[in-house]
Amino acid sequence: MSFQSTIQIITAWLSTNGLRIILVFLGAWILNKIVNLSIERIIRKMVKPDFYATSDAEKKREDTLIRVFSGAFSVILYLVVIMMVLSELGLNIGPLLAGAGVAGLAFGFGAQYLIRDIITGLFIIMENQYRVGDVVCLDGTCGAVEDINLRMTVLRDLDGTVHHVPNGTVTKSSNLSKDFARVNLNIGVGYDADIEKVIDVVNHVGKELADDSKYKDMIKKPMEFVRVNAFGDSAVEIKILGDVVPLKQWEVAGEFRKRLKKAFDAASIEIPFPQTVVHMRKE
């Protein structure tokens, strides 16, 4: 075959199928760019920032959503492009579509747990249930969120153990550090203690801690007496509550307990331990 004949064949092909194939790829590339830019702008605009979230955490959440939606659109678009190109090349894509349907069904059964993880992960990120840096409990497994993606959440507990939790297995997530945290204490005092004096001491210690320059930025509402919670076997149990910024509840509660113990000792208020009273019966 001469060079001139080859040029004629290529020119004839480009003037018919080849030109349409090039236009299909070019149109798909332009459409993909436009849609990806639109997805990014829509998500950046629609995702409402959380006041307590860092800019890095919010950007990571937005980038994850953008990557998911852009990737899904690109996969669907190029599958359609491949089918159009095969059709332009004269191939019968009917049997191919039927085979792809059967293969997709088989893959779906085999990858149902993976698909469940991805869908659940997508909703976790979209609903902002928790983010990197939060302290959460996922079905009893608690720790700080070190990473979250569509497939799993990575937690590190207080012992330093790293837990990889598949998103699809999470039926209940409890966020311990979203918006605000609460110091919730039940403390027992002796039955012979003056309850009004106890209330005054508790409220004074809570206010004093909230005024401390080291802790005032951590405390949103000072710890204070709420109620007599129960009459125990050896003590009157009182409820103390206070609101703090996220992740500071343990530090503030520890300091409050220390100061309250000193204040109770100074006021001669007993924190009793379990006691047993024995009566000796005379013969």
CA distance 81 to 77: 6
Which domains occur in the chain, in start order?
3-110 (1.10.287.1260), 130-175 (2.30.30.60), 181-266 (3.30.70.100)
Give the model's pLDDT for residue 164.
93
Question: Token pair for residue 281?
Answer: 């019966």
Query: What is the percent of the chain where pLDDT is above 70?
Result: 80
Give the model's pLDDT for residue 117.
85
- For residue 143, the SS3 value is strand
Give the model's pLDDT for residue 102.
57
Give the model's pLDDT for residue 68.
75
Range among 4-8, 154-158, 259-263 rated most confident? 259-263
Q: Residues 56-65: what's their mean pLDDT?
A: 71
Task: Lowest mean pLDDT of 59-63, 82-86, 136-140, 236-240, name the range.
Answer: 59-63
pLDDT tens for 180-213 read 889 999 999 999 999 999 999 999 999 999 999 9
Query: Across the chain, how many H-helices and E-strands are there?
Result: 7, 8
**DSSP one-letter string for 152-167:** EEEEE-TT--EEEEEG
pLDDT tens for 100-142 read 665 565 556 656 777 888 888 888 887 888 888 888 999 889 9
Give the model's pLDDT for residue 283.
64
Backbone angles phi, psi at 87, to 5 degrees: -65, -40
Backbone angles phi, psi at 256, to 5 degrees: -65, -45
Task: Note whether 156 and 197 are within 8 A (CB).
Answer: no
Q: How many CB atoms lie within 10 A of CB 67?
A: 14
Instruction: Enumerate the β-bridge partners of residue 165.
Output: 153
What does pTM read for this prediction?
0.59
